[in-house]
Chains A and B, each alone.
Chain A
Amino acid sequence: GQSLEQPSEVTAVEGAIVQINCTYQTSGFYGLSWYQQHDGGAPTFLSYNALDGLEETGRFSSFLSRSDSYGYLLLQELQMKDSASYFCAVRDYQEDKIIFGKGTRLHILP
């Protein structure tokens, strides 16, 4: 079967660093994407990893280990505006569909 697992909630302090993990199980795998969704808003694309390693985009970084079927999103210098839900997503090329995790709600404390 296909599944993506990520924590339902994570809490961190403003200015700190937080890591949101995602493990996946799919028939086929192209790459791992991350999306951010604020309350009442639409998901917006953050990053994509097709190869093992770390991709950095400003305060956000994303990591992938294909051998471990695992990835994470790293958010640095947390700001209050980072309070949102974060979704990981994969495309299963054998099932030919895109699968999203259930999302991680990030709470940031002042």
Chain B
Amino acid sequence: EAGVTQSPTHLIKTRGQQATLRCSPISGHTSVYWYQQALGLGLQFLLWYDEGEERNRGNFPPRFSGRQFPNYSSELNVNALELEDSALYLCASSPGTGGVYEQYFGPGTRLTVT
């Protein structure tokens, strides 16, 4: 069974540009979560999608947005990039709306803003 996949692996953008990150969950998983992991700051919850709907979002500005497609894959968009957006962006999936038990993480997208 394939795990969670993310693309691209690395992304370099300049300040003010837009970035699009993609995630494919494990087959059968309907919930997708996005996290930002900046150096030394742990995992910061960004967004949670389930069955195509945004279930909740963390304390991030509106320029962080996303969507979930009918096949449950997901896209994270970051507009008007700032230097402090440089981080590892992790996607995780879980079966159903729980996510209480375990989440399966992808390898992440390393975003660098210059």
Partner of B42, one of A30, A42, A44, A87: A87
With known contacts A42-B90, A42-B107, A42-B108, A100–B102 Cβ distance under 8 A: no
Q: Which of A42, A87, A100 has the most CB of B within 10 A?
A: A42
Q: Name A45's closest neighbour in chain B (CB-CB).
A: B102
Interface residue stretch chosen among A10-18, A63-71, A74-82, A90-98: A90-98
Least distance between A74 CB and chain B CB atoms (Å): 19
Once the chains are docked, how many angstroms separate the CA of A71 from the CA of B87?
A: 29
Number of interface residues of B (CB under 8 A): 24
* Residues 94-114 of chain B, each 1 if its beta carbon lies under 8 Å from chain A, else 0: 000001111111111000000
A45/B103 contact (C-beta < 8 A), A87-B42, A97-B56, A100-B35 known: yes
Main SS class of interface, B: loop
Q: How large is the interface on A (under 10, 10 to 19, 20 to 34, 35 or more residues)?
A: 20 to 34
**In the complex, chain B residues whose CB is within 8 Å of the CB of A48:** 100-102
**CA of A50 to CA of B98, assembled, Å:** 13
Closest CB pairs A-B (n = 4): A102-B42, A45-B102, A42-B105, A100-B43
A residues apposed to B, CB below 8 Å: 30-31, 33, 41-45, 48, 50, 87, 89, 91, 95-103
Known: A43-B103, A95-B56. 13 other contacts (CB 8 A): A30-B100, A31-B100, A33-B100, A33-B101, A42-B106, A43-B43, A48-B102, A96-B56, A98-B48, A98-B99, A99-B45, A100-B45, A101-B42
